[in-house]
Amino acid sequence: MESSKPAQIVKDVVEAAVEKVGDALTPDVPGAPGSAPPPLQEPTTPHGPLPPKAEQGAPDTRTPTGAETGVPKIAKGQQGAYLTTANGARLRDTDHSLKAGPRGPVLLQDHHLREKITHFDHERIPERVVHARGAGAHGTFVAYGAAEEVTRAGFLKKGRETPVFVRFSTVLGSRGSADTVRDTRGFATKFYTDEGTFDLVANNIPVFFIQDAIKFPDVIHAGKPHPDREIPQAQSAHDTFWDFVSLHTEAQHHTIWNMSDRGIPRSYRTMEGFGVHTFRMVDEAGATVLVKFHWKPKLGVHSLTWEEAQLIGGIDPDYHRRDLYDAIEAGAYPEWELGIQVFPDTPEETFAGIDLLDPTKIVPEELAPVQPIGKLTLNKTPRNFFAETEQVAFHVGHLPPGIDVTNDPLLQGRLFSYVDTQLTRLGGPNFTQIPINRPHADVNDMLRDGFHQHAVHAGVAPYRPNSLDGGNPFPAGDREHAFVDTPVTVAEAPKVRAAPASFDDHYSQVRLFWQSMSPVEKEHIIRAYTFELGKCYHQAIKERQLQCLANVDPVLCEQVATGLGLPVPQPTVPLAEVQPSPALSQVGREWPADGRMVGIVVDAQADLGDVHEVRREVFAAGMVPLLIAAHGGTVDGLPVQRTFATGRSVEFDAVLLAGAPAPAPDALPARDAKAGSAGSAGSATVDPRMLLLVEEAWRHAKVIGAWGAGAEVLNQAGVTGTPGVVTGGSGAEVLAEVQRLMAAHRVWERFPASVA
Ligand code: HDE
Neighbour-count burial of 475, counting CB atoms closer than 10 A to its CB (0-12 exposed, 13-18 middle, 19+ buried): exposed
Which residue's alpha carbon is at the smallest distance from atom 11 of ligand 1? 167
C-alpha 364, offset from chain centre: 24
What pLDDT, on the 0 to 100 scale, is given for residue 682?
53
CB atoms within 10 A of CB 180: 27
d(C-alpha 246, C-alpha 25), whole Å:
56
d(C-alpha 64, C-alpha 428), whole Å:
15
Cβ pair 620, 744 in contact under 8 A: no
d(C-alpha 717, C-alpha 684), whole Å:
9
Q: Which of 112, 138, 203, 320 is catalytic?
A: 203
d(C-alpha 476, C-alpha 471), whole Å:
13
d(C-alpha 108, C-alpha 126), whole Å:
30
Cβ pair 183, 236 in contact under 8 A: yes
What pLDDT, on the 0 to 100 scale, is given for residue 352?
97
* 478 Cβ contact partners less than 8 Å away, ≥ 6 residues apart: 484
Q: Residue 726 C-alpha to ligand 1 middle, in angstroms?
A: 45
CB atoms within 10 A of CB 350: 17
For the chain of 756 residues, list the mean pLDDT of each consecutive stretch of 10.
40 43 53 89 88 91 92 76 92 97 97 97 97 98 98 98 98 98 98 98 98 98 97 98 98 98 98 98 96 98 98 96 96 97 97 98 98 98 97 98 98 98 97 98 96 95 97 92 92 94 97 97 97 98 98 98 98 97 96 95 90 95 95 93 94 96 84 49 80 97 96 96 97 97 96 81
C-alpha 332, offset from chain centre: 16
Neighbour-count burial of 279, counting CB atoms closer than 10 A to its CB (0-12 exposed, 13-18 middle, 19+ buried): buried
Peptide bond into 582 cis (omega under 30): no
In order, the DSSP letters of 237-252 are -SHHHHHHHHHSGGGH
Helix (H, G, I), strand (E, B) or coil at 148: coil
The binding-site residues of ligand 1, defined as CB within 6 angstroms of any ligand atom, are 128-131, 134, 167, 169, 186, 188, 201-203, 208, 213, 216, 276, 392-394, 410, 413-414, 417-418, 421
Q: Residue 277 C-alpha to ligand 1 middle, in angstroms?
A: 12
Q: Residue 417 C-alpha to ligand 1 middle, in angstroms?
A: 8
Cβ pair 436, 391 in contact under 8 A: yes
Q: Residue 212 C-alpha to ligand 1 middle, in angstroms?
A: 13
Cβ pair 426, 209 in contact under 8 A: no
Residue 395 annotated among the catalytic residues of the structure: no
* 611 Cβ contact partners less than 8 Å away, ≥ 6 residues apart: 600, 602, 627, 635, 636, 638, 658, 731
Return the bridge partners of 384, or none.
none
Helix (H, G, I), strand (E, B) or coil at 152: coil
Q: Which of 131, 254, 398, 524 is catalytic?
A: 131
What pLDDT, on the 0 to 100 scale, is given for residue 73?
83
Residue 203 annotated among the catalytic residues of the structure: yes
pTM (predicted TM-score): 0.94
What pLDDT, on the 0 to 100 scale, is given for residue 27?
52
What pLDDT, on the 0 to 100 scale, is given for residue 193?
98
From 175, 210, 392, 414, mutation site for ligand 1 pocket: most ligand atoms within 8 A of C-beta: 414
Q: Kindly report each contact of residues 125-129 with a partner whose C-beta sits within 8 Å and lies 24 or more positions away, as own/partner.
A: 125/390, 125/425, 125/426, 125/427, 126/424, 126/425, 127/174, 127/175, 127/425, 128/169, 128/421, 128/425, 129/220, 129/421
